[in-house]
Homo-oligomer: A and B are copies of this chain.
Amino acid sequence: MTDEIVVVPGDGIGQEVVPAAIDVLEALDIEFAFREVDAGDAVKEATGEALPKETREAVASADATLFGAAGETAADVILPLRRAVDSFVNVRPARAYPGVDALRPETDLVFLRENTEGVYAGHEARLTDDVSTLTRVVTKNASQRLAEYACEYAAEEGFTVAHKANVMRETDGLFRDTVLEVADEHDVPADTVLMDAFATHVCLDPSQFDVVVCPNLAGDVLSDLAAGLVGGLGLLPSANVGPERGVFEPVHGTAPDIAGQGVANPTAALLSAAMMLEFLGHESEAEAVETAVEGVLSDGPHTPDLGGSASTAEVTHAVIDRLS
């Protein structure tokens, strides 16, 4: 069966790294039907809407979506796209690679970030000129869904729950307790850490952590922190996983300083495509792409952000060469 893939390059280097990922996917022995649609600053400028209805509907019905990046409109694009596929978990591996400078080369983490609620649930109000409020929502249901996923993902090694339940007793307390309950039911080892203490300890010794399960904003910040330990956002892929569909995106942004020059590092987009392959059940191809990307990271060629002088196309072809 042909997999229907919606492609949303978006703005800036999204227009360069997403086509690179498609080149790699087309080099595999799998039949895909690609459909490209618009989102981001450019389409907003042209039409007034950062996320056209057509794009949202395409993402909501495709098997999977490959997203690039959006500029100023990032939140207006990516948050509705996560909702469009009912994504309950954002999977964010943060790993240091041989051949790439990293502050902590021993970093090998995966964040499983709750993807529907917390402060992202979005109940905000400007009550008076002086007072604004935001209602953060945590439900047992969303915490359970995330925990079930975590128990499958980390069945053997277990996971750590990062939270701030000493202050957010009802909300993060419900999150932590629910996740631990599910882990216990599945006999999956789980421990807990305060999110502020995690921020210190992951710098001091990242090897003490492995899979980290977090509320939404905590996952946002702590995974970006881990990106700093492995050398920046440039290499990190991510998967917004829903029950039937997913949106796969590099963690980096539009990189306006280098956009249009053909030198953007395609690594994060290629690794996001590999996560998409795995989600779609093409495990061996997912592994092949990952191995090829790791080989190129280790031996080159490298784009300028990694100290090399190769173009996006040269790196992409080097990956494709390793696939055959």
Segment among A220-228, A269-277, A286-294 that sits at the interface with chain B: A220-228
Per the CB 8 Å criterion, the residue count for chain A at the interface is 54
Segment touching B, from A148-156, A167-175, A314-322: A167-175
Q: How far is the CA of A136 from the CA of B221 in the complex (A)?
A: 18
Instruction: Determine if B201 and A124 form an interchain contact, defined as CB atoms under 8 angstroms apart.
Output: no
Q: How far is the CA of A231 from the CA of B205 in the complex (A)?
A: 11
A126-138 vs B, Cβ < 8 Å mask (1 yes, 0 no)? 1001111111111
Indicate with 1 or 0, residue by residue over A187-229, a CB within 8 angstroms of chain B CB atoms.
0000000011101111110000000000001001110110111
| 77-128 of chain A: CB within 8 A of chain B | 79, 103-104, 119-120, 122, 124-126
- What B residues does A74 contact at CB under 8 A? 166
A164 within 8 A of B: yes
Q: Is A75 an interface residue (CB 8 A)?
A: yes
User: Which of B130, B164, B168, B227 contacts A141, CB < 8 Å?
Assistant: B130
**Proximity string of chain A (231-269) to chain B, C-beta cutoff 8 Å, 1 when within and 0 when not:** 111000000000000000000000000000000000000
| Contact indicator A170/B126 (Cβ below 8 Å) | yes
Q: Cβ of B220 and Cβ of A232 under 8 Å apart?
A: no
Q: Measured between alpha carbons, how far is A79 from B104 in the docked complex, in Å?
A: 34
Q: Which residues of B contact A197 (CB under 8 A)?
A: 224
Cβ-defined contact, A129 with B140, below 8 A: yes
- In the complex, are the beta carbons of A133 and B136 less than 8 A apart? yes
Q: A140: which B residues are within 8 A, CB to CB?
A: 129-131
> Whole-angstrom distance from the CB of A148 to the nearest CB of chain B?
16
Q: Which residues of B contact A231 (CB under 8 A)?
A: 204
Flag if A170 contacts B132 (CB, 8 Å).
yes
Pairwise interchain contact A137-B141, C-beta atoms closer than 8 A: no
Q: Are A199 and B224 in contact (CB under 8 A)?
A: yes
Q: How far is B127's CA from A122's CA once the two chains are assembled, in angstroms?
A: 17
User: Is there a chain B Cβ closer than 8 Å to A298's Cβ?
Assistant: no
User: 19 A-B contacts, Cβ less than 8 Å apart?
Assistant: A75-B166, A103-B203, A119-B136, A119-B164, A119-B167, A125-B170, A130-B141, A132-B171, A133-B135, A133-B136, A133-B170, A136-B136, A196-B224, A199-B221, A199-B225, A201-B228, A202-B228, A203-B203, A204-B231
